[in-house]
Amino acid sequence: MNDTENLELEENTVLTENDRAILNSAAGFHGDGLALKKWWEEAQQANGYTDRFDSVHTLNRSESSFAFFGEAPLERGKMPVMGLVDDVFYDRPKAAEGEGEMGVTRMKEQIREFALRYFLRVSDYRQPERLPDPGADQVPPYLRPLSWRAEQDVHRSGMEFTQRYYKSSSTGRIGKFPSETENAVVDMREIGRKYDWIILKLKVFDFTVTLKPTGNDGPQFLLPLKEESYLLVSPEFITDRDDPEPGIAGEYGFGYAFLKNPSRGPFAYGPGEFEAAFQTINFRVLNSGEIRVRMPFVSNRPDKITHFSIDPVGWSISLADRLTFGISSGLLQPVKEAWSKVASTLGMDQDPVVAGIDLANLVSLGQSAKQLDITVDQLNRGFLVRHSMQHYTTLSASLRTWRQIPDWLSKDLPDWVVAGTSS
């Protein structure tokens, strides 16, 4: 993948400035994602982690999870990384359906179709909601805080994947998926045959960060985040194998390299803000017919958590722009460009979270870290746990959809499954 200015586009494909920013950065993030995947596979075989530790524990279930810190070699140099591997029980066939070789063969066929074709279409869902009062007038905005009237309030959970861009294997051209087909993510088996790669947009619902500035028993602050990211799926991340290893009848799944969002948000780490990251989600059918899901994830270890710019000049320019309804934007552009160069050299972008941790340890002569675990490493471990819980919740919800369809190979599936719209 090269700069989009030098690549041919599919006929009638029009790219916005944001589209070009995403596509221009894709090659680098894709290469880093593949390098991290290769490093993890080798580290997993040789236990080549700097530090390995338990991360998530579930009671009375045959599930395992561990996290790790390490250092991975990338083209740009060695990168401190962290990650986790979740091995989750998914389902077990009941009665005769899962017995014997025929039962396992059927299970392989069903989970292969579900994992490679439909999972990305049904990974988000709507929570149960109270029906709005029929025929009732909508409450004016200024009275809503006082109203008890039920109104339509769609609450979505899980993760939503929509397809945005592709590179055609036959023409070598880049295109954009039509907006009306964005939810009907293509069959993963078409990547490498019909497409060299595709780029998805991921929305993570119900993603919150909990801050406990005065300890576990003190006040907590829940920060609901609007987490979005772009993901590149290529053949190297697709798994479609029968009998991959002893005890495993089949393994089917997908993965992706994370792309960094072109526009910077308030957080310096998380979906859309990774400097380098990859994830794979592989469904494994055991010889017994049991289904498990294995999910390795690796990303850079962040050196900051939030962006907070101490930038009085920039704030003044922004205020002037608003007060003049945008008229001053063009007049002050040279000043803005000159100041941005000065601000970058002065280190105006600070992180109050990491600064607070450093200050606590400085004042306590290091006892905050030794006795209270107030460290960046502890914060990173919390991020890994949150990542694991988000995927666990999404898988648990998808199980209801998986069991609802008696035959995933049927040509008569519900429209919401085929179209990828939330039920």
Q: Which residues, 6+ apart, have CB-to-CB distance to 162 below 8 Å?
A: 182, 183, 185, 200, 201, 203
pLDDT one-digit tens code per residue, 246-271 = 999 999 999 999 998 876 655 656 66
For the chain, what is the largest distance between any 2 Cα atoms, rounded to a whole number of angstroms? Answer: 76
Strands 248-259 and 277-286 turn out to be antiparallel
Beta strands in 92-220 (DSSP E): 124-126, 156-168, 174-176, 195-211
pLDDT one-digit tens code per residue, 51-90 = 998 876 665 555 678 999 999 999 889 999 999 999 999 9
Note the pLDDT of residue 299: 94
pLDDT one-digit tens code per residue, 287-337 = 988 999 999 999 998 876 665 555 554 545 555 555 555 555 555 566 556
When mean pLDDT is compared across 92-96, 242-246, 367-371, the lowest value belongs to: 92-96
| Residues 233 and 198: beta-carbon distance below 8 Å | yes
| Residues 275 and 260: beta-carbon distance below 8 Å | yes
